[in-house]
A and B are shown apart, each in its own frame.
Chain A
Amino acid sequence: MEGRADYVVKRTLFALLTVFVAVTINFLLFRALPGDAVSGLRCQHCTIQFKAALRHDLGLDKSKWEQYKIYLKQLAHGNLGLSDVSHQPVRGLLWDPLKNTLLMLTLGTVFSIVFGLLTGVVAAWRRGTWVDKGSLWTSLAFYSMPTQWLGLMIVYFVADRIGLPHGGIQSPDLGILGNPSTYDYWKDRLEHMILPALTLGLVLYGEYTLIVRSAMLETLGEDYVLTARAKGLSNFAIVRKHGLRNAMLPIVTLIALSLGFIVGGAITVEYVFDYPGIGLAIVDAIDKRDYTFLQGAFLLLTISVILFNFLADLLYFKLDPRVTT
């Protein structure tokens, strides 16, 4: 029991330390870029006086150390600050793109997990057959495809043929002459979500299949599986109870990483499909040197990755108590 408590405390402290280090690196990283939110402004009304006043308002005229202290102080109060560009609270600005991203990436990730698990298990069970070979080559092909390339191919060759939109999050004319019904609204949203989610899902599915197949092959070769066969257990029972359960450690790691990165969006997928998620918002913020927004977005991403890894650590403990040692 003491070992378990130690384990949880250690993982928690490590997670908190990682968040702090990431916060500091995020702060420094963006300031290493040439220019800032003000120097990047190019408008006829952006006079030197205007820029000086703006730089003062945003606190960019303070030393980096001062800015860092202010940032930490705000963070301690749960305040992500005001955007350097729109002067709106970052917390609010993050919500819309995050919402869009979560919906789309969850769809893609769930597809890849379910499909990847299924094909991985079947391939391992049917090792050496045409089912295994077909599955292996297909998953390798999708895994090695650049996501943006696959997305472009889908835009150019698939979208029109199956009557789905090329990009965006809603039809250009939706709601122009009046508010759409809830059904029309969500149907339209879903239609716009399918292709980016599919692109992401296909690439991730390849990875899942390979990992699951490899982990399953390892466990299916163990003596206890042979014993299970000798005891006359059904194939399904052997795979479910003895194969898959024992292959779960690497699979849980992968799922935790995938879920953690959902919050970060999929920049290339969002760009190709013109999908206004958190990935595109980050690209836009980099272009405009919106440090505060970037800090907020990366903090969210960091916490999400760390949180899911932390949960995976706790799950390891449940799945295999030996990890405490």
Chain B
Amino acid sequence: MSARRMLAAAALAAVLLAAGCGGSSGSSGGSGGVKQGGVFTIGTTNYIDTLNPFNYIEAEAVTAYLEVYPELVQLAPNLTSYEGSFATKWTHSADFKTYTYTLHSGAKWSDGKPLTSADVAWTANTIVKYQNDATAVLASSVAHVTTVDAPNPTTVVFHYDAPVDPNLVLSNIASLYILPEHIWGSHAGNQGKDLKAFRPENSLPLVSGGPFQITKYEKKGTTVFKPNPGWWGPKPHVEAVGLVYYTNSDSMIADLKSGQISAVDQVPYTAVNALKQSGGLAITPYKYGEFTNITWNSNPRKPQNRELLDPRVKKAMSMCVDRQQIISVIYDGQATLANQSVIGPFGINWQSPDDQKLQFNCDQANAMLDQLGYKRGANGIRVAPATTGKYAQPAHPMQYQIMVPGSLDFNGSREFSIVADGWSKLGIKVTQQAGGDSAQAYAIETDDNCDAAKSTGYAKFDIALWDWFSYTDPDFQLSVATKGQWCSWSDTGYDNPSYDQMYKQSGTLAGAKRLALVQQMDKLLSDQWIYTFLVNEKAISAAQPKWGGYHPELNGYNYGYMTEPYQK
């Protein structure tokens, strides 16, 4: 799993609802009857690293948290808006600095203790208190929060230090996993550090406030979820859900084919055809949040091949990449052309209508490069002319390395071949640089001496092939291009103080003002071509046909992922 896919799933799994795959939490689709009971087993190549949300890193942990820890809101099944979960409704003050939630009344934890606003306030205030250290993992869920009050058992009030857009608030608060104060309260000592040391998995069944209880936890095995009898929401149909971890997808697919597991969220693209041919499984494509790109080193201080900082050169090169071929060859048609927006397909409503458009046209691309003065040498390779000034470079052939990580969920080497083939028509030669695993690939991009304060790093790579994950709120994706993310999430080394200023301002705006600024930022990045976006991936799920109500797109977003499956 690529690093960005980890982020993707870790933050919020990965998907938009495909047409025909709809459903809502608490309602079961399908034309057949709903049979109660049965064990639904889901194969996954990600594992739950801990049941302690202050300590998690792995994607699958979020899947578990959504089923056992209540959230105030969750992403609705359409994955474009939010719906109430433990909160039944919410309002905000006119200045967007106070948000008030009304909670379900009479809710209980699985051990019979009352689940009230006091638990919400304790969880949120504890995170705020130790957000720079012990609770940093969940700090983004309470970004800008100063205090949280619980005026009565069914009301909780969040106070913010600045106006925060409702979409951003809900996006953040959806990751606030409410913990039972009567269990966790005694583990908040030692400046909060004891919170990280606590291992709830050591005393199962876990005290749960969600639709399921975890009765068995195996980090790299099977974790068992059984319905929580005290749950106030729609009851799960199944007797149990088993989340089964596999190290490699081949074994997982073999077990699916032999009927040992009920479903798989994501079938590797390379296995889809074989599964279709073997028959007997329901194979469903669904829109996915990952979108692939050509990453351009955009560090203004990069020492070599500085012609690649010129947006016109990058645009010309992008125009000679056959994205349709990528879709048909690599994805077997299960992808769509991506817009040139860093925000990605999930945040399409935030994208600027004026973003760059990309047409496949090598002739025009050649003409653009000719016009820019990049003449072809005797061997057919174009030559970048010598430059002067602080970053002077001698004339040199336009030949570059493209770094391809080894941890991509698609065939990166094949994509490289398609890109290289297109650019050879432009007189540009590229060779593949093995990126290794995600950590190594990031290290290649940022350099070992990366230091934002000294503006060092991002000096040794030119181009990479990778992917990003899209969110309904654009905040994170826009942050990736800031200097503040250097040596962390920034993979381009883009450094533009004006942009950073705009980003800072966007965090204190709400409504139409925020939308306008976000679109302006999106347009700016699109014009700079710090990325060339290639395709929006679709994911392919597979399930035994006797199961209905299985919506893999809800994984990490909505507890319906486990409450809705039923036997036909």
Contact = CB atoms under 8 A, between A and B. Distances in A.
B43 to A, nearest CB: 7
A296 B347 CA distance: 45
Interface in B124-145: 132-133, 136-140
B57 A43 contact: yes
Nearest to A42: B3
Given A34-B443, A47-B139, A173-B39, A53 B488 contact: no
A150 interface: no
| Most interface-central of B39, B55, B254 (chain A CB within 10 A) | B254
A274 B6 contact: no
B487 interface: yes
A35 interface: yes
B49 A276 contact: no
Contact of A274 (B4, B248, B476): B248
A44 B222 contact: no
Contacts of A87: 55, 196-197
Interface string B490-513: 000000000000000000000000
Interface string A262-285: 000000001111101000100000
Interface residues of A, number: 49
A168 interface: yes
Contact of A47 (B136, B244, B452): B136
Contacts of A86: 49-50
Nearest to A34: B443
Contact of B216 (A36, A43, A53, A176): A176
A44 B41 CA distance: 28
Nearest to B43: A172
Contact of B7 (A44, A49, A50, A177): A44
A43 B222 contact: no
A35 B260 contact: no
Interface string A282-310: 00001111000000000000000000000
Contacts of A160: 258
A48 B484 contact: yes
Given A34-B443, A172-B43, A46 B488 contact: yes
B438 interface: yes
A167 interface: yes
A168 B255 contact: yes
Contact of B137 (A45, A152, A172, A274): A45
Contacts of A167: 246, 248, 250-251, 254-255
Contacts of B255: 165-168, 172
A176 B262 CA distance: 14
B240 interface: yes
Nearest to B47: A284
Interface residues of B, number: 59
A39 B439 contact: yes
| Most interface-central of A34, A271, A286 (chain B CB within 10 A) | A34
A35 B49 CA distance: 21
B121 interface: no
A175 B222 contact: yes
B438 A40 contact: yes
A43 B261 contact: no
Contacts of B138: 45
B200 interface: no
Interface in B442-495: 442-444, 446, 448, 452, 476, 484-485, 487-489
A238 B360 CA distance: 80
Contacts of B137: 43, 45, 50
Contacts of A276: 220-221, 247
A155 interface: yes
Contact of A43 (B7, B242, B251, B440): B7
Contacts of A35: 439-440, 442-443
A280 B488 contact: no
Contacts of B240: 176-177
A50 B136 contact: yes
A33 B476 CA distance: 29
A174 to B, nearest CB: 8
A173 B261 CA distance: 8
Interface string B231-260: 000000001101010111011101100101
Contacts of B55: 87
Given A47-B488, A50-B136, A172-B261, A39 B224 contact: no
Given A45-B136, A160-B258, A271-B247, A172 B488 contact: no
A276 B11 CA distance: 26
B10 interface: yes
Contacts of B452: 48
A85 interface: yes
A86 B252 CA distance: 25
A172 B222 contact: yes
Interface string A25-59: 00000000111100111111111111101000000
B39 A177 contact: yes
B437 interface: yes
Given A40-B439, A40-B442, A44-B11, A175 B216 contact: yes
A22 B261 CA distance: 43
Given A172-B244, A176-B39, A176-B240, A33 B440 contact: yes
Interface in A64-120: 85-87
A276 B489 CA distance: 31
A44 B251 contact: no
Contacts of B10: 43-44
A129 interface: no
Interface in B346-382: none
A48 B486 CA distance: 9
Contacts of A33: 439-440
A12 interface: no
B448 A85 contact: no
Contacts of A176: 39, 41, 216, 222, 224, 240, 242
A274 B246 contact: yes
B7 A42 contact: yes
Contacts of B221: 169-170, 276
A245 to B, nearest CB: 44
A235 interface: no
B439 A172 contact: no
A227 interface: no
19 contacts: A34-B443, A34-B444, A35-B440, A35-B443, A39-B443, A45-B137, A47-B139, A48-B452, A49-B132, A155-B251, A155-B254, A159-B254, A167-B248, A169-B221, A173-B39, A176-B240, A274-B248, A274-B252, A286-B437
7 closest A-B pairs by beta carbon, nearest first, are A40-B439, A167-B251, A34-B443, A42-B3, A274-B251, A35-B439, A166-B254
Given A43-B6, A44-B11, 5 more contacts: A43-B10, A168-B246, A173-B242, A274-B247, A276-B221
Interface of B: 3-4, 6-7, 10-11, 39, 41, 43, 49-50, 55, 57, 132-133, 136-140, 196-197, 216, 220-222, 224, 239-240, 242, 244, 246-248, 250-252, 254-255, 258, 260-261, 436-440, 442-444, 446, 448, 452, 476, 484-485, 487-489
